[in-house]
Structure 1
Amino acid sequence: MAETVAERIANALAERIVRGELAAGAPLRQDKVAAEFEASHVPAREAFQLLRAQGLAVSEPRRGVRVAPLDRKSAQEVVEIRASLEVLALTHAVPWLNAKSFERMEQALLAGDQAESIEAWESANRAFHREIVVPCRMPRLIAMLDGLQLANSRIIFAATRKAGWQPGTSQAHRQILDALRQRDAARAATLLQSHIRGLEQAAGERPPPL
Structure 2
Amino acid sequence: MADVPALQMTVAARVADQLRAEIRQGALDAGMPLRQNEIASRLGVSSTPVREAFQILERMGLVVREGRRGVRVFRPSMQDLVNGYEVRGALESMAARMAALRLSEPELAAIADTMRVMHAPRVSQKTFLQLNAQFHAQIGTASGNARLAELIVAEQSSTTSFVAFLGVDASSAREAHGEHAAIVAAIAARDADAAGEAMLAHLATRVSALQARLGARGRAHVRK
Q: What residue in structure 2 maps to residue 84 of structure 1?
A: 90
Q: How many residues align?
A: 180
Q: Which structure shows the higher helix fraction?
A: 2
**Residues 186, 192 of structure 2: 8 Å contact kept:** yes
Contiguous gaps of at least 5 residues in structure 1: 1-15, 38-43
C-alpha spacing 1:157/1:58, structure 2 compared with 1 (3 Å): closer
Aligned identity (percent) is 24
Cα deviation, 1:105-154, whole Å, max 9, x if unaligned, reads: 11111112215221122222112112222122322322221122223322
**Residues 56, 151 of structure 1: 8 Å contact kept:** no
Contiguous gaps of at least 5 residues in structure 2: 1-15, 35-46, 215-224
Q: What residue in structure 1 maps to residue 199 of structure 2?
A: 192
C-alpha distance in 1, partners of 2:33/2:157? 19
State yes or no: 1:75 paired with 2:75: no
C-alpha distance in 1, partners of 2:87/2:22? 25
Equivalent of residue 147 in structure 1, options 146, 154, 162: 154
C-alpha distance in 2, partners of 1:68/1:86? 26
C-alpha distance in 2, partners of 1:177/1:196? 14
Cα deviation, 1:48-93, whole Å, max 9, x if unaligned, reads: 9xx7xx9989897996997764121111111111101111222233
**Residues 155, 202 of structure 1: 8 Å contact kept:** no
**Residues 109, 173 of structure 1: 8 Å contact kept:** yes
**Residues 90, 189 of structure 1: 8 Å contact kept:** yes
C-alpha distance in 2, partners of 1:65/1:147? 23
**Residues 20, 158 of structure 1: 8 Å contact kept:** no
Q: What residue in structure 2 maps to residue 100 of structure 1?
A: 106
C-alpha distance in 1, partners of 2:101/2:154? 24
Q: For 1:114, what is the secondary structure of its paired residue?
A: coil
1:103 corresponds to which letter in structure 2? A
**Residues 100, 189 of structure 2: 8 Å contact kept:** no
Q: What residue in structure 2 maps to residue 9 of structure 1?
A: none
